[in-house]
Amino acid sequence: MIRYGIVGFGLHAVRRLMPGFAMATNSQVSALSRSELTKARNSAAEYNVAHAFDSPLDLCRCPAVDAVFVSSPNSAHLSSVMAAIQSGKPVLCEKPMGLNSDECRRMVDAAGHAKVVLGVAHIFRFARSTASLRERVAAGQIGKPVLARSEFSFAGHAHPRRWLTDAAIAGGGPIADIGVHCVDALRYILDDEITNIAANTVSDAHSGDVEASAVLSLRFVRGALGSVLVSTRAEYRTPLEIVGEEGVLRADNAFSVSDQVHIELRKGGKVVDREVILNNDAFTCQVDTFSAALERGVQFPVPGEEGWQNQEVLDAAYRSARTGKIETVRIVERTKTAASYAGNNNYQSL
């Protein structure tokens, strides 16, 4: 059993992480931290968590913590991940991994130097619907992918995460917050990398110093073209579509972890196959997979380099939004990842 300390125990931890841990088989929460100790103790009491802290470093140093889950606002990811690494604790960091690619590089380099496992919590890598789409594309059901489209929108007015409109904390608007899901899903489903990107954004009186909506145009290494549409000014919707030379795959509610995901395979303008999937165990699968990687000494499937690569795409998108030009996406070199060192750590619970 791997004991986790959650850094930044806020809305995401309450709504998503704790229900996931409640169903986990080899993962449990032993500690949490919040910015105020009284609030941390109140949350710990409410969720029957043994240890409460107001310092991420103190949490990371706690002997009852085997692994750290960073769920703090984006601007705190770097310091929290570094605290875990300095404490010799494997760490799973929420998306987006950092405020920019340089922060991600520093995390990956530090984890590799310290031989500490670093993973990124790209939750839809653990969703059944995403796995089905990836398998269908790989099996050639639609032939060679030609076009790929992913959308994510939600009504962001008066959102509980008030820091979402502060670029210094969030790093950006919906491109960073939900666009990263779209980017990662397309990269994963197509098993391909994005080589260049063009971005068009709009802001409004309520979006602070970040964008309110954006359209990203993508080019992939193998020639497919893609688009990502994101907004915090529309109703919740997450359609995803892959168009191939021989057919089309479409998923409605593609990024839902609570509602049914409907996948259709179309050929010749007709639906030839349908599948209905629930992703309600995705958060459980994520933490249990991380725990299994630590226990067995195998690589976690979403190492730090994956979060870094997504951040390179986001950085290029924001450069394009500023310059009005098509920007090249740097491809992160895949060397021996920090996650390869899982078997070299000595956890007190093992």
Please report, for the domain that includes residue 185, its CATH number.
Answer: 3.30.360.10
- 148 contacts: CB under 8 Å, gap ≥ 6: 186, 189, 190, 218, 220, 224, 225, 226, 227, 241, 242, 243
Same domain, yes or no: 198 and 243: yes
Same domain, yes or no: 69 and 179: no
Same domain, yes or no: 164 and 184: yes
How does pLDDT run across 22-35, given as a tens digit for each residue? 999 999 999 999 99
How does pLDDT run across 238-287, given as a tens digit for each residue? 999 999 999 999 999 999 999 999 999 999 999 999 999 999 999 999 99
Domain count, the chain: 2
- Residue 151 in any domain: the answer is yes
Question: Tokens in use for 96?
Answer: 């987006």
How does pLDDT run across 142-168, given as a tens digit for each residue? 999 999 999 999 998 877 788 888 999
Q: Which amino acid is at 274?
A: R
Closest CA to 107 of 70, 68, 79, 71: 79
Same domain, yes or no: 298 and 227: no
Q: What is the pTM of this model?
A: 0.93
Using CB atoms within 10 A of its CB, is residue 204 exposed (0-12), middle (13-18) or buried (19+)? exposed
- Residue 328 in any domain: the answer is no
**Domain limits at 96?**
2-122+283-302+337-344
How does pLDDT run across 319-332, given as a tens digit for each residue? 999 999 999 999 99
Same domain, yes or no: 7 and 105: yes
The answer to whether residues 90 and 112 touch, using CB atoms and an 8 Å cutoff, is: no
The per-residue pLDDT for 349 is 32
Please report, for the domain that includes residue 25, its CATH number.
Answer: 3.40.50.720
Q: Looking at 243, 278, 313, which one is the last position of a domain? A: 278
Same domain, yes or no: 140 and 10: no
